[in-house]
Each structure stands twice: as C-alpha cells, then as structure tokens.
Amino acid sequence: MMSIATFFCLPTHVFAATDNYAFVSATQATRFQTLTSQLRCLVCQNQTLADSEAPLAADLRHQIYIKMQAGQTDAQIVAYLVARYGNFILYRPPFVPATLFLWLGPALFLLLAGGGLLFFIRINRKV
C-alpha cells in the first residue's frame, strides 16, 4: 500500500538533465519545466533546454532559475534569451516576416494540391 502511494508521488516527467533546484512552490516548478521545454538548446539543436545535458543548457537553466527567483515573468526571461540568441532559441517561432513562409506554407501547399486535384478531375471528365 505504502509503495503504491510512493509510486504515485514520483514525478511523471524525470529530467534528463540532473539539476537540483529548490522551488518555493509546485506552481513555480511547473513554470520552470514548461518554460525550459519551450526553449531550444543551442548546442544540441533538436533538444530543449529542459532535456539537454550540454553545459550551456545547464548554464541557461541556471540563469532562468535565478531570474525566476528574482520575480521575473516568463516574458521577461524569454526576452532576455532572445536578445542574446535570437528567435532561434524559441521552439515555437514567432509570426514575423522571416517566418511567413513557414507559417503560411502548409496552407499554400494545401491550396495548390486542392487546385491541382480539381484541375485533373475536370480534365479527366472532358477526355
């Protein structure tokens, strides 16, 4: 019975990275986890800051932790990182001119494919 209770108390997501940060509340721990999961590790670029074991990722998590303890908002922390590493650090790219094609591309391809499909259906009817 006890062991089952212990099992359910285990964190559902275990950090790949082995930091040991003390948070004032569970809410703040979740906030830290959510924020670091939305940021890219610049060393191993297909991993998030939360997952990466790279020394730079650990340094950046440390900076994020310090800033969170200092009462900074998520937006302030993200702005701090973007000022240094650019939008590339964001896993969710912002909607700006440089990412226009990225955001609208899929819709464009869907329109092209749909148009092509209609076109061929009409041709084949006439033949």
Residues 22-51 as x/- pattern, contact with another protein by CB under 8 A: --------------------xx-x------
Residue 45: count other Cβ atoms within 10 Å of its Cβ.
Answer: 10
> Interface with another protein includes 71 (CB under 8 A)?
no
- Contact residues for 42 (Cβ-Cβ < 8 A; gap 6+): 56, 85, 88, 89
Please identify, among the stretches 10-18, 22-30, 55-63, 69-77, the one whose residues bind another protein according to the rule CB under 8 A: 55-63
Distance in Å, CB of 35 to another protein, minimum? 16
**Residue 83: how many CA atoms within 13 Å on its side-chain side?**
6
Residue 15 to residue 1: CA distance in whole angstroms? 27
Residue 34: count other Cβ atoms within 10 Å of its Cβ.
Answer: 11
- Select from 5, 83, 107, 121 the one that contacts another protein (CB under 8 A): 83
- Select from 16, 30, 88, 111 the one that contacts another protein (CB under 8 A): 88
Footprint of another protein (CB under 8 A): 42-43, 45, 55-56, 59-60, 63, 82-86, 88, 123
